[in-house]
Structure 1
Amino acid sequence: MSFTKVALYPATPTTVRGTYTKLSASKEKIVYTNGKTVFIRDVANPALGIAYGGHVQNTTVARVSPTGSYCASADASGTVRVWDIVGEDQALKGEFKAISGRINDLEWDGESKRIIAVGDGKERFGHAFMFDTGSSTGEIIGHSKVVNAVAIRHQRPFRAATAGDDNLIVFHQGTPYRYDKTIKTHTRFVQDVRYAPSGDHFASVGSDGKVFLYDGKAGEAVDEFPEGHAGTAYALSWSPDSRAISTSSADTTVKLWDVETRKATRTYALGTGLQHQQVGNVWNSPDTIVSLSFSGYLNVFDRRSGEKGPVKVLHGSQKAVTSAISNPTAPGTFVVGSADGRVLSYDPTGEATPVGGQGHTNLVSGLACTSDGKVITAGYDDFVREVEGSSFTASIFSTRSQPKGLASTSDGTVFVVGVDAVEAVRNNQKVAELRPGTGGPTSIAARDPLVAIGFDDHKVRLYDWDGKALREVGLLEANKGAVSALAFSPDGLKLAAGDSSGKVVLYDVPKREPITSRWSFHSARVNALSWTADSQHCASGALDTHVYVWSVRKPLKNIAIKNAVPGGVNGVLWLSDARAEEGGGRLAGTGADAAVKVWQVTFHV
């Protein structure tokens, strides 16, 4: 048995209110950060993503070297890691402590040899160093407050410009880099500064909404672009031919500017409200611009089109994925819920679509799919909601306590696991309630007519559901920890039960006894289980970041997908009708890093 990674569907960038998010591009791919992970995303194909999880602190910015061989990424602790993006193992080239605080931006020079990192350091606000040795290549000085951005001229003679919260731009000559002059054009925080690819000019934007142009060699202010933004301008980027600039603003607009005439040639309005504020920007190809909404969605604009808005919007989870389920009525599709209450549907190509309508306001703790294709969701806002098509319906049920999980039966009944009870809901009405006398319910699974409920006393209790009440018919006691995940096999004859100790016990349902307790390679709580269509293999995902695929016929054999999801696995699901006689199938895993990874699993080598 073996596996190969075939796809990665990236998360969307992290956004913070009132703060910009740095985006960059390399070979028509965009580069950004989310949590402790760096993502390199292909705009055209969502499956061709790259994820790097080598940081121990939250990442803040990442940029690929001009040669395209290495990526430099920085985090909130002031650490810069340079790693290889050509090889699959993403080998670390070097790790350097640039400043003693959060790094807000970094930039490579045109020779892919030197890096300048800037931010909120306690001893200094910026540092210039060689990417391979870490040796200093000058001083980045002149600011009295946090530095927000840095830009380097890629042609010799090298120049660098830094922008900060002291409303200043500091111009440096190099190399080695040394202070040259202070530029006082903006009246409020300077949010971004970027050099044109030609090196002839650089431009800046700030909280005053203004856009300024400067001479690239001398650092002198050339002109102000008239009629800037009505709100904070967070980001700018240059077209590859250095003839145009795009800017993104909190006024929810993206503007394209002609550098020669200093006039706005196109203004895209994205809507109203906080979620539509534009907080990041990068020119992805000669005619394509990507702007980031505060919601985390990436808006793709094509200046050749006559569209008044984006030609495409790239979606994905922005926070940790907390639950996932495949949709049996639409093969290859699946639905995920995240820690911020969002629910997204993925199609077989990996394109994500957010579920519209009034959704959850807090963590999505459970998903279930009914026999007619409806998706039922539960959240920490204490509501159970219904999804039909691509939108939440008006149907809603208020739970008596915070829901922990969901399961459904063919008669349309949805079972909601609460803190001390299990509620049976049909047509948004409670039809039954179970209050166990001992132990608190922790997990649930259903396979007509049985409902299995896991408890924190390490036991699984089986109940018969007749449409009106739950009647206990069996007790399973081989687990060694609180039962955290349950899954019936499709044939209904087996039940997999994962617990907080990392063990997965396989039970024989008719005999009410364990088949094997040797599925015990996880070292932390099991969060998710998923069976193949032929009931011969079961996948498990756990807090230890690993995914295992277990065999019923050969319990001692398994496929170990180590470090599958940094931070922990919260969902595993088979995307294809995986069967042993067909040799395997596609398995997806998702969790703390908000991305979805897909592997081709082969049962027979």
Structure 2
Amino acid sequence: MPFKSVALYPCNPATTRGQSTKLSSSKDKIVYTNGRTVIIRDLKNPTSVIANAGHVRDATVARISLTGYYCASADAVGNVRVWDIVGEDQVLKAEYKVLSGKVNDLEWDGESKRIIAVGDGREKFGHAFMMETGSSTGEIMGHSKVINAVSIRHQRPFRAATASDDSTIIFHQGVPFKFDKSIKTHTKFVQDVRYALSGDHFASVGSDAKVFLYDGKNGDTIGEFTDNPHTGTVYGVSWSPDSKSLVTSSADRTVKLWDVETKKNITTYTLGTSGLDSQQVGNTWTGGDDIVSIAMNGDLNIFDKRVGDKPSRILHAPSKAITSALPTGTSTFLTGSSDGRILSFNSPEDGYDEVKGTGHATFIVGLKSNATSSGKVYSTAYDDKVKEIDLNGNSFVQASCPTSSQPNSIAVSSDDTVFLTEANGSIEAIKSNQKLFESKLKFNPTSVAAAPTSNIVIVGGEDQKVRLNEWDGKTLKEVGVLQGNKGTVSALAFSPDGKYLAAGDSSGKILLFDVNERKLVTSRWSFHSAKITSLAFSSNSKFCASGSLDTHVYIWNVDSPVKNIGIKNAVPGGVNEVFWLGDGKVVGAGADACARVWEVSF
């Protein structure tokens, strides 16, 4: 094969303010959703990752069956998909429309035959059905508002508990599942409810900051955990594998470990110092005895109950769409996302790390460095700032430079001059946080690129033209125009030797120009069907990778323009960035916040 997938670096869970984020586990694997993608990752083996993007709408929750063979995942429009996780093809076993609105939670029974899905709907807020046939196995009744969580006792006789915004827990007998009693221990929204693996107890948590324990067989209330209680909404609760302890995660930025028999607080883990990002909005206790809690910013905090009062490690990764990326070595790179976070990827084992210091506040437009790799990276975002990142210290340089308008493209010349095209129709040049040049153009600029071996700066526009400019350190002077694109010029890239320029547009067409001779080399790179978002040449200048909103990645051959390698459906939701790690590996990243690596052979 001309290409093969060699790595997938997963995103972290997507979170929503004021809502519990459902995280589940099976042995050492944790399961969560982000956009349309369901992620299954092994905490003990970072290279073992499954990403399933079968949902048409955003996935909301996913759980693995007790047998470990299947995963059930649900989405924002009431669909539940059951798919195989043992085979590489992730074959779809069944798909059912169970609710008319968003599914907030689902649960397998102890025999991996039945599923209960709960959430929002017009006729009902929950549905119990057989995994094989979709036929009903009872009624989920008694709630007057959206159901937030469901849990099933895994031993016979089966029982189920559902938690709702109506401040009640409904206890169901089964099977078939039917209403047994309404439990009114909470005074505000009930965010989560979980059965112990033993089936002897279940616990609930809610917006009233309370944690309650119940008898697993009859639903009687045993008591409240009042020793050193939470002071904010409790979003998640999970049980230890031995069913003797439980863990809770709260908006008060704490994760608390409780002893079930004494109802005493054993350990309190405090995350962060202040702010929304450190709120804990969900958790799971893995079969490998790791406690995993999700922060509002998507970070996965992993705790070892035997060691200290801090996370044993933190898994950083993008949780929003990757909007820009930049290679920083043969196996390392930076990513910028739509929430303003910039992370550095170090290795499959170490994963991502946060770039230290005060960064951007919103959508990252671009990350660029000069061709000589001086250890400096420049970033710009919709907060109208240009910032410098010191790669050696993995940190932002304190000073920054404001832009005149919202930037839409960035380039860096060999002498570290930063060029920006902006929404107001201007182009700016900045160096050492000082503005050197600004000019209002006669067309709307949409993309910019700086030649690695000369003083040429290329500007693409909405008028479908590519303009060559010379930079003398003080001003830009137009010296030529390249034409042939059929849409707004949306992406530009120079080959490392400075000879070639690739120009992609909104129609999906890519033109290859010889910059020195200012002539068209080929116009046959036209297999994409949507806007070109990114272009990148290999270090030997012989191949060019392209990414598009059509979800595909193509590798084009400069010496033989008719030859190409197509990686179809490379990034679900659309490719925002492509780049090379060495000459043989291409990375694609985009809407699903994952980075995928392919090894390409020519």
Alignment of 1:142-291 (within 5 A): 142-227=142-227, 228-271=229-272, 272-291=274-293
Task: Choose 183-192 or 505-514, whichever is displaced more.
Answer: 183-192
Alignment of 1:442-521 (within 5 A): 442-447=446-451, 448-521=454-527
Checking the alignment, whether the CA contact within 8 Å between 1:364 and 1:380 is kept in structure 2 is yes
C-alpha distance in structure 1 between counterparts of 2:440 and 2:208, whole Å: 59
Task: Choose 176-185 or 99-108, whichever is displaced more.
Answer: 176-185
Name the amino acid aligned to 1:264.
Answer: N
Name the amino acid aligned to 1:262.
Answer: K
- 1:331: how far off? 3.1
Name the amino acid aligned to 2:330.
Answer: P
C-alpha distance in structure 1 between counterparts of 2:29 and 2:562, whole Å: 42
1:558 counterpart residue number? 564
Deviations 1:187-227 (A, max 9, x none): 22211111111111111111222222212112212222222
Name the amino acid aligned to 1:499.
Answer: D
Task: Choose 87-96 or 296-305, whichever is displaced more.
Answer: 87-96
Checking the alignment, whether the CA contact within 8 Å between 1:402 and 1:418 is kept in structure 2 is yes
2:532 counterpart residue number? 526
Checking the alignment, whether the CA contact within 8 Å between 2:28 and 2:288 is kept in structure 1 is no
Task: Choose 469-478 or 152-161, whichever is displaced more.
Answer: 469-478
Checking the alignment, whether the CA contact within 8 Å between 2:26 and 2:287 is kept in structure 1 is no
- 1:262: how far off? 1.6
Deviations 1:6-50 (A, max 9, x none): 111111111111111000012311111112221112224444322
* Amino-acid identity (%): 61
Task: Choose 26-35 or 38-47, whichever is displaced more.
Answer: 38-47
SS in 2 for 1:275: helix
Checking the alignment, whether the CA contact within 8 Å between 2:449 and 2:457 is kept in structure 1 is yes
Say yes or no: does 1:412 pair with 2:413: no
- 1:89: how far off? 2.2
Q: Please list every run of 5 or more consecutive structure 2 residues that lacks an aligned counterpart in the other structure.
A: none
C-alpha distance in structure 2 between counterparts of 1:142 and 1:412, whole Å: 65
C-alpha distance in structure 1 between counterparts of 2:256 and 2:312, whole Å: 15
SS in 2 for 1:404: strand
Checking the alignment, whether the CA contact within 8 Å between 1:404 and 1:417 is kept in structure 2 is yes
1:403 counterpart residue number? 407
Alignment of 1:307-456 (within 5 A): 307-327=308-328, 330-349=329-348, 351-370=351-370, 371-388=373-390, 389-419=393-423, 420-437=425-442, 439-447=443-451, 448-456=454-462
Task: Choose 83-92 or 555-564, whichever is displaced more.
Answer: 83-92
- 1:392: how far off? 1.6
C-alpha distance in structure 1 between counterparts of 2:508 and 2:82, whole Å: 34
Checking the alignment, whether the CA contact within 8 Å between 2:486 and 2:509 is kept in structure 1 is yes
Pick from 291, 294, 297 the counterpart of residue 292 of structure 1.
294
SS in 2 for 1:505: strand
- Structure 1's 502 and 21: CA in aligned 2 closer, same or farther, altered over 3 A? same
- Structure 1's 599 and 77: CA in aligned 2 closer, same or farther, altered over 3 A? same
Checking the alignment, whether the CA contact within 8 Å between 2:465 and 2:485 is kept in structure 1 is yes
Superposition RMSD in Å = 1.4
Checking the alignment, whether the CA contact within 8 Å between 2:22 and 2:105 is kept in structure 1 is yes
C-alpha distance in structure 1 between counterparts of 2:450 and 2:47, whole Å: 32
Task: Choose 36-45 or 414-423, whichever is displaced more.
Answer: 36-45
C-alpha distance in structure 2 between counterparts of 1:58 and 1:481, whole Å: 31
C-alpha distance in structure 1 between counterparts of 2:189 and 2:366, whole Å: 43
Give the TM-score normalised by structure 1.
0.95
Checking the alignment, whether the CA contact within 8 Å between 1:239 and 1:286 is kept in structure 2 is no
Checking the alignment, whether the CA contact within 8 Å between 2:579 and 2:586 is kept in structure 1 is yes
Name the amino acid aligned to 1:40.
Answer: I
Name the amino acid aligned to 1:397.
Answer: C
1:582 counterpart residue number? none
- 1:102: how far off? 1.2
SS in 2 for 1:463: strand
- 1:180: how far off? 1.3
C-alpha distance in structure 2 between counterparts of 1:340 and 1:248, whole Å: 23
Alignment of 1:22-33 (within 5 A): 22-33=22-33
Name the amino acid aligned to 2:384.
Answer: D
Checking the alignment, whether the CA contact within 8 Å between 1:215 and 1:221 is kept in structure 2 is yes
Say yes or no: does 1:35 pair with 2:35: yes
C-alpha distance in structure 2 between counterparts of 1:277 and 1:395, whole Å: 29
Name the amino acid aligned to 2:318.
Answer: S
Q: When the two structures are aligned, how many residues end up with a matched partner?
A: 592
Task: Choose 43-52 or 308-317, whichever is displaced more.
Answer: 43-52
- Structure 1's 45 and 434: CA in aligned 2 closer, same or farther, altered over 3 A? farther
SS in 2 for 1:231: coil
Give the TM-score normalised by structure 2.
0.96
Name the amino acid aligned to 2:326.
Answer: I
Name the amino acid aligned to 1:500.
Answer: S
C-alpha distance in structure 2 between counterparts of 1:121 and 1:269, whole Å: 37
- 1:248: how far off? 0.5
Pick from 537, 555, 558 the counterpart of residue 549 of structure 1.
555
Checking the alignment, whether the CA contact within 8 Å between 2:28 and 2:44 is kept in structure 1 is no
2:113 counterpart residue number? 113
C-alpha distance in structure 2 between counterparts of 1:294 and 1:325, whole Å: 26
Pick from 533, 536, 542 the counterpart of residue 536 of structure 1.
542
C-alpha distance in structure 1 between counterparts of 2:177 and 2:221, whole Å: 20
Name the amino acid aligned to 1:381.
Answer: D
- 1:378: how far off? 0.7
C-alpha distance in structure 1 between counterparts of 2:50 and 2:469, whole Å: 45
Deviations 1:429-455 (A, max 9, x none): 111234333x21111111232211111
Checking the alignment, whether the CA contact within 8 Å between 1:8 and 1:46 is kept in structure 2 is no
C-alpha distance in structure 1 between counterparts of 2:456 and 2:56, whole Å: 44
C-alpha distance in structure 1 between counterparts of 2:574 and 2:409, whole Å: 18
Checking the alignment, whether the CA contact within 8 Å between 1:411 and 1:467 is kept in structure 2 is no
Task: Choose 440-449 or 462-471, whichever is displaced more.
Answer: 462-471
1:588 counterpart residue number? 587
Name the amino acid aligned to 2:568.
Answer: K
C-alpha distance in structure 2 between counterparts of 1:53 and 1:484, whole Å: 27
C-alpha distance in structure 2 between counterparts of 1:398 and 1:45, whole Å: 43
Name the amino acid aligned to 2:446.
Answer: T
Name the amino acid aligned to 2:74.
Answer: A
- 1:466: how far off? 2.4
Name the amino acid aligned to 1:323.
Answer: S
Name the amino acid aligned to 1:424.
Answer: A
Checking the alignment, whether the CA contact within 8 Å between 2:164 and 2:190 is kept in structure 1 is yes
C-alpha distance in structure 1 between counterparts of 2:35 and 2:475, whole Å: 44
Checking the alignment, whether the CA contact within 8 Å between 2:238 and 2:246 is kept in structure 1 is yes
- 1:238: how far off? 0.7
C-alpha distance in structure 2 between counterparts of 1:267 and 1:167, whole Å: 26
Name the amino acid aligned to 2:167.
Answer: N
